[in-house]
Amino acid sequence: MTLPTLLVLDADPPPRLGRLTGRVRVEHADASTLAGRLPSADVLLVWDFTSHAVREAWPGEGPRPRWVHTASAGVDHLLCPELAASDTVVTNARGVFDQPIAEYVAALVLAFAKDLPRTLELQRERTWRHRESRRLAGTRACVVGSGPIGRAIVRTLDALGVTTALVGRAAGDGVHGPEDLDRLLARADWVVAAAPLTDGTRGMFDAHRFAVMQPSAYFVNVGRGQLVVEEALVRALRERVIAGAALDVFASEPLPGDSPLWEEPGLVVSPHMSGDTVGWRDELGAQFVELFELWEAGRPLVNVVDKQRGYVPGH
């Protein structure tokens, strides 16, 4: 029996695929070798989910894998017109990052409400300065992105007594449509971006959207860096259009050392880590193995991405 070929776009550390030993022939590629190895692969595992190599290599000559899985929630780094138009099935890591990201958002919201960044600054200065902080219960949040991550954020903030509104691509059960976004932003104390990157969401948080927000509002982005017009956010912070912000994702990653965002007052910068808890790579590997076993058995895959929309439909 001829074993199927699994091609892994590598990142360090590599995935643990021990359960698949003897059931698949595993090959490895990096950005420089991916294009040459795609034609011989039945399945592609995009373990290096920061790479754009798939988007660049896919349009080449020869057969292409029947299934591509990315070890990430977002798929914008790999989708290209040729892949979107093909019969190849694309799946993602939906479900692994939902609660960790929700907890990270809650931590940021609590830190802002309790003025923890300023407390740490004053401690470093050895300055005793009593202040008052905000009560979180009773405040309002607008969460943009109605997928599993957005819904987990809503549940977690609800548990802290925050009144939440969820905004998605279209209105539905418990979800507001885009037409309500400005109205909800104007009432929110906390605005959380957790949407996928699509043509409809790119640059959605621009000067207009920041101007709509309250001067006391805080903005958090755990979705995609390109959701935000970063220059507009910098102006909003410097002109005190909003009170503060936290970015875990950026238009360019890693964030260049000379970026003004590093030292922008009122901005918390973290290195795309909101979903990465201890053991997260093992979870991603185990998830892929479970999906592979479905594929191997000829059963329908879960987490199938709508390649035209750019995300897994369902909410």
What pLDDT digit, counting tens, does each position of 59-70 carry? 989 999 999 999
**pLDDT tier at 281, thresholds 50, 70, 90:** very high
Would you name the residues annotated as active-site residues? 224, 253, 272
- Average pLDDT estimate for 11-31: 95
Q: Provide the edge-to-edge strand list for the sheet that holds 67-70.
A: 25-29, 5-9, 43-46, 67-70, 89-91
Query: What mean pLDDT is reported for the chain?
Result: 97
CA angle, 190 then 215 then 193, to 5°: 30
Percent of the chain with pLDDT over 90: 98
pLDDT, tens digit (0-9, with 9 covering 90-100), for 184-217: 999 999 999 999 999 999 999 999 999 999 999 9
How much is the pLDDT for 32?
96
Which pTM was predicted?
A: 0.94
Q: Examine the pLDDT at 314 and tell me if it is beyond 80.
A: no
Distance CA 113, CA 135 (A): 7
How much is the pLDDT for 315?
54
Percent of the chain with pLDDT over 70: 100
